[in-house]
A = this chain, B = another copy of it.
Amino acid sequence: MRQHHTYTPAVKDLAYTFGGVAPVASLHSGDVLTVFTEDCFGGAVTTIDDLPSRVCTFPYLNPLTGPFLVEGAEPGDTLAIHFRSIVPARAIGVSSTFPHAGALTSTTHTATLQPPLQERVWLYEIDTDAAVVRYRARNSDFVADLPLDAMHGTVGVAPPAFQARSSLTSDTHGGNMDTPELRAGTTVYLGVNVHGAMLSLGDGHARQGPGEVSGVAVEVAMTTTIALEVIKNVPTRWPRIESDDAVMSVGCARPLEDAFRISQHDLVTWTADLTGLDTLDAYQLVAQAGTALVGNVCDPNYTMLAALPKHLLPDPTTVYGGVHQRLRHVPVPAPVVG
């Protein structure tokens, strides 16, 4: 029977890697889970004077809630995670520049001899009723209301090959993909690498521009409800996302063209599977009918997405056995104690 678990981590229970961490709870395929996730700064930035490089301590960045052991998930399976709701848990979102982070600055890897950009914090009022977040310039009275578009930057499972990967990066196991597509109403598919999958998530964004060019979105703690299902004996190589309208493949890599190649390659082979087209015909269809979306161009691995409208598929309900529709609409039982 489908159960609804709830879980709020204590600070000491936050995790900073995918893999290498003991589970905080066990779930079953079909369960629903409501969790609290801290923001990427561990909640330490609350005023414009809280410069992240001062109030945060490496490696205590981008804390994760989890991992959750999913009973029955084994290597070679796929874990489907459907986001039922993602709701800001605070009224203020925070953003900032951060020394040597972001795309329009030199970094530890794109290393230059220039000093870093000034570190500056912005606070965004979040009005969930009006569904807006309010940008306020720091050095003028410019104000702009932007659409609230809550999402998770980070969701993933334990990686393969005995690894434990920082919550700051992404790869085949998911992780810090930082794409605005990870909003409520979508389903993420992740290949299972270890017994129990070991699902973790965090890094809520009230909104994020594609590319996350400054390195930091509108960061906020979230109360998030997900529904899970294990798809047995169906492997998934790279993260995939399904919305009501599109199927999407995620590539995580540097340079950015490899993130593009991975995502498009995965979408071409997936499209061939879903349509019966041969590889070149699928390539052609994706080339003309597909879309390329930018996730982030600031994290250790960049992300890009390749998307195809589902109305082009002969039968969209065959995507991973129709799990997206199922999880999107199943009744959510009342929560029990996590």
Q: Which residues of A are interface residues toward B (Cβ below 8 A)?
A: 16-17, 19-21, 58-59, 95, 97, 102-106, 108-118, 120, 122, 124, 133, 135, 137-140, 142, 144, 146, 160-166, 207-214, 216-218, 251, 253-258, 260-262, 264-266, 268, 275-281, 283-294, 297, 302, 304, 306, 312, 314
User: Please, how many angstroms separate the alpha-carbon atoms of A270 and B291 in the complex?
Assistant: 27
Tell me whether A264 and B211 are in contact in the complex, defined as CB-CB below 8 angstroms, given that A117-B280, A118-B280, A140-B278 are known contacts.
Answer: yes
Contact A286 B209 (CB under 8 A): yes
Q: Are A112 and B207 in contact (CB under 8 A)?
A: no
A9 to chain B, nearest CB (A): 16
A235–B305 CA distance with the chains assembled, in angstroms:
35
Residues on B with beta carbons closer than 8 Å to the beta carbon of A146:
288-289
Contact B280 A120, beta carbon cutoff 8 Å: yes
Q: Is the CB of A209 within 8 A of B290?
A: yes
A160 to B108, CA, bound (A): 15
Partner of A260, one of B21, B251, B276, B294: B294
Select A289's contact among B109, B117, B135, B257, beta carbons within 8 Å: B135
A52 to chain B, nearest CB (A): 14
A294 to B263, CA, bound (A): 13
Instruction: Establish whether residues B142 and A283, one from each chain, have CB atoms under 8 Å apart when the complex forms.
Output: no
Closest to A118 in B: B280
With A140-B277, A294-B294 as given contacts, are A97 and B283 in contact (CB-CB < 8 Å)? Answer: yes
- Contact assessment for A213 and B264 in the assembled complex, using a CB-CB cutoff below 8 Å: yes
What are 18 A-B pairs with beta-carbon distances under 8 A? Answer: A95-B288, A102-B287, A104-B261, A104-B268, A105-B113, A109-B258, A111-B266, A114-B116, A117-B280, A140-B276, A140-B278, A161-B166, A165-B165, A209-B288, A211-B292, A213-B287, A256-B260, A294-B294
- Which residues in B have their C-beta under 8 angstroms from that of A289? 135, 144, 146, 209
